[in-house]
Amino acid sequence: EVQLVESGGGLVQPGGSLRLSCAASGFTVSNNYMTWIRQAPGKGLEWVSTLYSSGNTYYADSVKGRFTISRDNSKNTLFLQMHSLRAEDTAVYYCARGNCSGSSCNPADYWGQGALVTVSS
């Protein structure tokens, strides 16, 4: 059974840093397309970043240069390192496994339960 469990959320001051973790089970992170998607309180979903199995990474313009997606193959875990946090980064951050192969692609077929990040002084 595919499971994704996020951790590391919390309250951080503007300009601060935080690292989210996403522990995966039931599949191998390094063999899959992994995504972070966030949802500000009462708002819609926003794609944040993708890590391909190849190791290539991509980011939304809103987080480029501040956030870094990575993985630890030995721990089968995905990370999102966030720096220079702003109030507008306040959101529930979801880790998701995507599925892109051949002529089929979607960024998130399995989702974690989410981790709340609050940026406030």
Which of residues 11 and 45 has its CB atom nearest to another protein in the complex? 45
Q: Tokens standing for 71?
A: 């993985």
> What mask, x for binding another protein by CB under 8 A, covers residues 19 to 38?
----------------x-x-
> What mask, x for binding another protein by CB under 8 A, covers residues 75 to 94?
-------------------x
The minimum distance between CB 80 and another protein, in angstroms, equals 16
The minimum distance between CB 26 and another protein, in angstroms, equals 15
Site size with another protein, rule: CB under 8 A? 25
As a whole number of angstroms, the distance between CA 83 and CA 92 comes to 16
Q: Tokens standing for 104?
A: 């089929």
